[in-house]
Chains A and B, each alone.
Chain A
Amino acid sequence: MPQLDPVIWFFVLGVVAGVARADLRLPAAIYEFVSTVLLLAIGLKGGVELARDTAGLPVAELGGILMLGFLLPLPAFAIARHVGRLERADAASLAAHYGSVSVGTFAVVVSYLATRDIAFEARAPVWVVMLEVPAILAGIVLARGLSGNVAWGHLLRELFLGRSIVLLLGGLAIGWLAGPEGTTSIRPLFFDLFKGILALFLLEMGLIAAAQLPTLRRHGLFIVVYGVTVPVAFAVTGAALGSALGLSPGGITVLATLAASASYIAAPAAIRTAVPEANPALSLTAALAVTFPFNIVIGIPLYERLAVALAG
């Protein structure tokens, strides 16, 4: 048996319990609470580290990462449209999901690196924020065209005021303002309990992923192959960019993982309202039932090796 992080076993437990139809369900409020704590904890931790290091935010790096967010949907769309022969709307929806990022996957890679004492750039939560929105916008343009009938103002507001962005940036700001000493009083909840909270989150994610499995059977092999190969190709792209930007091996691992991850919160909600004719189950199932498990169990250790090789 490979040495899996114990939190991953909670995900496995969730999947097994879900498949067996066990009497197990976390109330919606608990899921919201747990994901709120995770997002704030990640933001806070990054903010505290940023307060220690006064170098500031490198503009070229953030620009490169923003570009990555806009460009990843293009191959994701082309593959879905031409290899998968999907409808335009469905291919664009997949492109938005796969170009955007999963904060849950980010939490797992942060925990993975922390367990192994591998350092990464403190500003990594900012990368999440930079990568979340552009791909969703690109996906909507791929479906609608630039002149399409989309309420952009309303949509942008919803996207930028989405939970993950507000909590990540809010945590980052609080951590930065309060600094290492100032955050001592909240350390027990946000830092010491991080792994336990992540375990509960992954238990629920396992249950949610299991609930998608019947849909997965309906959509067949293409979605499974797509959900595994696209993330690996994107991880290589993300790692190459990270290496070109001179990131640390830990930072390259994080960027590769972010590129590989597929959104299952921000993208589904935005695409559902902006591209209603796309089948929501298709993208969500691929992101949740294929790509999320693949990334957290197999992908992340793989991306870390790639990062070490590139940085070495």
Chain B
Amino acid sequence: MEQFPRRLLTIVTEAVLERELIAELEALGVRGYTITDARGKGSRGQRQSDWAQEGNIRVEIVCEQALAGRVAARLRERYYDHYAMILFLQDVSVLRPDKF
């Protein structure tokens, strides 16, 4: 079975940013993403998932290398200073390249 390389970009950030972030991602050309509620602890303290005001989300995007790079650069420039946000990139393989 043939496999195709793509990048998996994972973003963990404040739930309050969800709508804005989606608009941003779509403007950059991201065609699909998965969002889940998340909780955990980081440099900005413990973050709960059970109350919307302080909730965290995890956004996962599988896309081409170049697009993942553009998204990462844009998010870093726009959100890193004032928001709780981390993102990381991984290599993944997909079966249907036209989808991603």
* B83 adjacent to chain A (CB < 8 Å): yes
B50 near A28 with CB under 8 A, answer yes
Considering the complex, which residues of chain B in the window 1-50 have a beta carbon less than 8 Å from any beta carbon of chain A? 14, 16-17, 19-20, 37, 45, 48-50
Contact of B53 among A26, A215, A277, A284 (CB under 8 A): A284
Of A27, A31, A273, most B-chain CB atoms within 10 Å: A273
A29 to B, closest residue via Cβ: B50
Considering the complex, which residues of chain B in the window 46-100 have a beta carbon less than 8 Å from any beta carbon of chain A? 48-55, 81-83
CA distance A35 to B15 in the complex (A): 19
CA distance A211 to B49 in the complex (A): 13
Contact of A268 among B37, B45, B53, B82 (CB under 8 A): B53
CA distance A94 to B88 in the complex (A): 34
* A264 adjacent to chain B (CB < 8 Å): yes
* Cβ proximity bits A66-78 to B, threshold 8 Å, 1 near / 0 not: 0000000000000
* A208 adjacent to chain B (CB < 8 Å): yes
A27 near B50 with CB under 8 A, answer yes
* A119 adjacent to chain B (CB < 8 Å): no
A273 near B52 with CB under 8 A, answer no
Contact of B52 among A25, A26, A28, A277 (CB under 8 A): A28
Considering the complex, which residues of chain A in the window 20-56 have a beta carbon less than 8 Å from any beta carbon of chain B? 25-28, 31-32
CA distance A265 to B37 in the complex (A): 18
Chain B nearest CB, measured from A53 CB (Å) = 36
A25 near B50 with CB under 8 A, answer yes
CA distance A277 to B49 in the complex (A): 22
B53 near A269 with CB under 8 A, answer yes
Q: A264-B53, A265-B53 are in contact. Are A272 and B16 (CB under 8 A)?
A: yes
B51 near A28 with CB under 8 A, answer yes
CA distance A193 to B17 in the complex (A): 35
* A148 adjacent to chain B (CB < 8 Å): no
Considering the complex, which residues of chain A in the window 132-167 have a beta carbon less than 8 Å from any beta carbon of chain B? 158
A265 to B, closest residue via Cβ: B53
CA distance A156 to B81 in the complex (A): 25
B82 near A276 with CB under 8 A, answer yes
A28 near B49 with CB under 8 A, answer yes
B82 near A26 with CB under 8 A, answer no
CA distance A277 to B82 in the complex (A): 5
The interface residues of chain B lying within 8 Å CB-to-CB of A27 are 50
The interface residues of chain B lying within 8 Å CB-to-CB of A31 are 50-51
A26 near B50 with CB under 8 A, answer yes
CA distance A208 to B82 in the complex (A): 23
Chain A nearest CB, measured from B40 CB (Å) = 15
CA distance A25 to B50 in the complex (A): 8
CA distance A277 to B19 in the complex (A): 19
Chain A nearest CB, measured from B23 CB (Å) = 9
CA distance A276 to B82 in the complex (A): 6
Contact of B48 among A211, A277, A284 (CB under 8 A): A211
* B contact residues vs A (CB 8 Å cutoff): 14, 16-17, 19-20, 37, 45, 48-55, 81-83
Q: Nearest 4 A-B pairs (CB), nearest first?
A: A276-B82, A272-B16, A28-B50, A277-B82
User: What are 30 A-to-B residue pairs whose CB atoms are below 8 Å?
Assistant: A25-B50, A26-B50, A27-B50, A28-B37, A28-B49, A28-B51, A28-B55, A31-B50, A31-B51, A32-B52, A158-B19, A208-B51, A211-B48, A264-B53, A265-B53, A268-B16, A268-B53, A269-B16, A269-B53, A272-B14, A272-B16, A272-B17, A273-B16, A273-B20, A276-B81, A276-B82, A276-B83, A277-B81, A281-B45, A284-B54
